[in-house]
Structure 1
Amino acid sequence: MHSVTPTPSGDLVAVVLPGSGSDALFVRSAFDAPLAAVGAQLIAPDPDPGRGVVAGYRSALDEALRTVRSMTSDTRIRLLVGGVSLGAHVAAGWAARQGPAAPVAGLLLALPGWTGAPADAPAARSALVTAHQVRASGLDATLTALRASAPRWLATELARSWTAHGDGLADAFDEAAATPAPGAGVLRGLPVPAGVVACVDDPVHPVAVARRWAELLPRARLVETRLDAVGADPATLGRAAVLGWLHASTR
């Protein structure tokens, strides 16, 4: 699926997972340059609605870990893991299950949608509503409604990625809305440095959730930005996550 080779600096590989309905193209546009600036190679897996988005993401993380552990270089390769929204949930939960012996150097957690069970979180409600609209009205009508309500850049981005999901789009949204995020106890037990990102003007991913994650994680730094800044330059999101991780690494 994804091969891992040593980075120019020889020690960092980053696996960053897309959000619900998003894809690897957006992750690369947001994280590639900021990670390259700290000498990290980016792996951005595409979602696979056919096998299950969450299962595919966990498989990509497992594969990266196996590959890193199999390397015989004198240089110790370490992993950064993270994601956007659902991707952040999956990455943090996966990291918590690896234990202290895993070569996880840190977390890049952008726009978490909830903590623990989805309950009535705005991101979960939005996913369920979108899944219903796609099934009831079709993708074209759903995209028309999206363009009428979302910022132009976001509507254009989602139109591309939602179309690429094909017939599995509605199921992918249902899966995202039903998947628990790490709970408070799990987050408290993650000792690695973490950069947590919130967009203060994002009603779907409330800034209060990101702030709560940053409070619960033992070594975390919250960095706030805005959706319009991400629209102007997607790398704003990646820079915020990497900056938060760098600051958290000094704690």
Structure 2
Amino acid sequence: MTSRYAAPAFVVLPGTASDEVFVRSAFAGPLAASGFDLVAPRSRSVAEHFAALDARWDGKPLVVGGVSLGAHVAARWAARYPSRCAGVLVALPAWVGPAGSAPAALAAAASAALVDSEGLAAAVAGVDGWVGAELRRAWPRYGSRLVDALREAAGSAAPALGELRGLTVPVGIAACTDDPVHPLGVAEQWLDALPRAALRTTTLDALGADRGALGRAALDAYLSVA
């Protein structure tokens, strides 16, 4: 197991148009229960995510991670700087390599177009349950940057299979079995490519009752190979 002395903080990035509030709700409790500290940057764009990881590195390897887009950035940063990374937490990976026609990319592009043409309220009006509540909470925090953030995410790249194969640190992957936007099959692709990884699953219903279900799944997977 990676000790808190080898990895004093787990730096976890938010997903597309999400924020550090959601990251804390999913990861703070599980990490604290295992004796780890969470850093949840307030970064918004892909460039800001990379910059946040660069800023946290102080010469000691980090455990980095994220949700969806944040997971893509964290894994790409770890592949880019292997000596800076002690491990990776991946929650809800959305695609491999170029976004193409991945469901999450199409959803982000469609949301951007709807917000741009009809406004934020119309874009979230048909989204029910805890996911809708989360969008109505987080999206206004982006202000005028929301449309650009959604469009950037829709066209961004996840790690290619070659990058994942070269990532030798322990990687914990969490996926929801009932999430059509972040298909379980994508998480399984990541798992097959990564040399040292484990996958744990939960459900969107479980996250509705307790956001920490996502963090526990990712951390349990990580600790099983660390």
TM (norm. structure 1) is: 0.86
Report what 2:10 is aligned to. Answer: 14
SS in 2 for 1:40: coil
C-alpha deviations, 1:27-74, integer Å up to 9, x for none?
A: 0010001111222211111233xxxx0111101100111x2x1xxxxx
Distance 1:16 1:9 in 2: 15
Distance 1:10 1:184 in 2: 31
CA offsets 1:200-250 (integer angstroms, 9 cap, x no match)? 10000010000110110000001011001011000100000000001122x
Contact 1:90–1:181 (CA under 8 A) maintained in structure 2: yes
State the distance in 1 between where 2:117 and 2:12 align.
32
Q: Tell me the number of residue pairs that the alignment of Structure 1 and Structure 2 aligns.
A: 223
Correspondent of 1:43 among 26, 36, 39: 39
Partner deviation per Cα, 1:99-134 (whole Å, 9 max, x = no partner): 3x32x2211000010000111000000000000000
Tell me if 1:33 matches 2:14. no
Match of 2:90 in 1: 109
Give the equivalent residue in structure 2 for 1:87.
70
Does 1:181 find its partner at 2:163?
no
Aligned residue number for residue 154 of structure 1:
131
Amino acid at match of 2:189: R
Which whole-Å CA distance do the structure 1 matches of 2:47 and 2:157 have between them? Answer: 13
Aligned to 1:135: 116
| Equivalent pair of 2:170/2:225 in contact (CA under 8 Å) | yes
Alpha carbons of 1:186 and 1:9: their partners in 2 closer, same or farther (altered >3 Å)? Answer: closer
Instruction: Give the root-mean-square deviation of aligned CA atoms.
Output: 1.3
Gap runs ≥5 in structure 1: 1-7, 70-76
Aligned partner of 1:4 in structure 2 is none
Q: 2:174, 2:196 → 1: CA distance?
A: 14
| Runs of 4+ off more than 2 Å | 8-12
Distance 1:93 1:161 in 2: 25
| 2:43–2:52 CA contact under 8 A, matched in 1 | no
Pairwise CA distance, 1:83 = 0.2
Q: Per the alignment, in what secondary structure is the counterpart of residue 201 of structure 1? A: coil
1:10 and 1:180 map into 2 onto residues whose CA distance is 32
Matching residue within 202, 206, 213 for 2:183:
206
Partner of 1:61: 53
Residue from 165, 190, 193 that aligns with 2:170 = 193
The CA deviation at 1:9 is 4.6
Q: Please say which structure displays the higher CA radius of gyration.
A: 1
What's the counterpart of residue 72 of structure 1?
none
User: Is the contact between residue 11 and residue 40 of structure 1 (CA under 8 Å) also seen in structure 2?
Assistant: no
1:105 touches 1:192 (CA, 8 Å); kept in 2? yes
The question of 1:168 aligning with 2:145 is answered: yes
Letter in 2 for 1:142: A
User: Which residue identity lines up with residue 199 of structure 2 in the other structure?
Assistant: L
- Write the distance in 1 (CA, Å) between the matches of 2:93 and 2:102: 11
Code of the aligned partner of 1:215: D
